Amino acid sequence: MKRTVAFSRDAVNVFFHILTGCNLRCRHCYINPDQHGRNQLPIDVIENWLGAFSGKAGAANVIFLGGEPTLHPELAAAVRRARALGYQSVTIDTNGYLFNDILDRVTPAEVDYFSFSLDGATRRTNDEIRGEGVYDTCLSGIRKARARGFEVSLIYTVSALNIHELESMAPILADLGVERFFIQVIGIRGKSAEGSHHLQVPRERWLSVVPPVAERIADMGITVTYPKVFLAPDEPFLCAGLCAENYFIFPNGRVYRCPLCEDFPYHALAFEADRLVSTPRLNESDFFQLRIPEGCVMNRLVQPDNLAYGEDGRPLYQIACCMLKEEVLKG
């Protein structure tokens, strides 16, 4: 069963980058220290900032990320604070290195998912993108997490470098006992923006590979999520910046509503003295209001390579909000 995951104001999703430091140097890393800071947030600041969202209407979910969030020595305390504040789910995104004995310091009752990143079905392809030795470390980390009773999801960022191995992930996911598989698309942000547009996957290849592979993996009982990217002619365009509650927090205090804005000082919100405040205009909120025939305004501005036009100058299709997902469930 396939369904488009509609944006919802009933849930608040907090993507909390608690530091930007990382032991890896992945080729497509979107972290941009000039824009996101180089610091690691003290635990009291993390706790205060978590509190700014927990009281919002509806349920709140938090995803701790970095950098590599397990490098933060007080990640376990941050997890417990999120629980105490009433967050309905807590996820830790990790590159698999699981520093600071994090599996010993939190429990499956406290962490809903450890979400591991792997960018190739083979050691060669993954390590070409993420660094030598990462494939083996990540798989070993997944096995350790599963052995401790944690639920595990896996994120695979599709680019021209690894789309040919997406299908080969199926037996690996089954063998590891992964419950959810998130397929992402390479964004032209952070390091990817440094002249690496060749990483992007053409529309035809995306459409011919990703949806059918997602169906096949879902048939194995694994829930698969992937970004919609290209809207069909009859599908309405919606901007999550206007109709959803997503917050992307960085350790320098910037809070974005749109991931595509993260390479620019266009954040709509910021923490100042631990208070969440609106930033002066112009900021990303002003872009969300604009309507263009190409769909997403920020996509048109920062990664227009995925657009195509007819002879009459009209776009042939719309690009969806980068946060609009297809979810494929078994059955």
Contact set with ligand SF4 (CB under 6 A): 22, 24-26, 29, 31, 66-68, 95, 239-241, 258, 260, 287-288, 296-299, 321-323
The token duo for 295 is 């769909």
SS (H, E, C) the chain: CEEEECCCCCEEEEEEECECCCCCCCCCCCCCHHHHCCCECCHHHHHHHHHHHHCCCCEEEEEEECCCHHHCCCHHHHHHHHHHCCCCEEEEEECCCCCCCHHHHCCCCCCCEEEEECCCCCHHHHHHHHCCCHHHHHHHHHHHHHHCCCCEEEEEEECCCCHHHCCCHHHHHHHHCCCEEEEEECCCCHHHHCCCHHHCCCHHHHHHHHHHHHHHHHCCCCEEEEECCEECCCCCCCCHHHHCEEEEECCCCEEECCHHHCCCCCCCEEEECCEEEECCCCCHHHHHCCCECCECHHHHHHCHHHCCECCCCCECCEECCCCCEEEECCC
Q: How far is the CB of 2 from ligand SF4 (least distance, A)?
A: 21
Q: How far is the CB of 109 from ligand SF4 (least distance, A)?
A: 26
Residue (218 or 325) nearer to ligand SF4, CB = 325
For residues 138 and 156, give the distance between their C-alpha atoms in angstroms, rounded to a whole number.
12
Single-letter residue type at 85:
L
Residue (18 or 321) nearer to ligand SF4, CB = 321
Q: How far is the CB of 221 from ligand SF4 (least distance, A)?
A: 28
Residue (165 or 284) nearer to ligand SF4, CB = 284
Residue (80 or 144) nearer to ligand SF4, CB = 144
For residues 229 and 323, give the distance between their C-alpha atoms in angstroms, rounded to a whole number.
9
Residue (122 or 289) nearer to ligand SF4, CB = 289
Residue (92 or 323) nearer to ligand SF4, CB = 323
Q: How far is the CB of 322 from ligand SF4 (least distance, A)?
A: 4
CB 315 within 8 A of CB 308: yes
Residue (217 or 297) nearer to ligand SF4, CB = 297
Evaluated on CA atoms 81, 86, 87, 90, the torsion sign reads: positive
Nearest to 268 by CA among 287, 248, 284: 284
Q: How far is the CB of 140 from ligand SF4 (least distance, A)?
A: 16
Residue (24 or 52) nearer to ligand SF4, CB = 24
Residue (106 or 323) nearer to ligand SF4, CB = 323
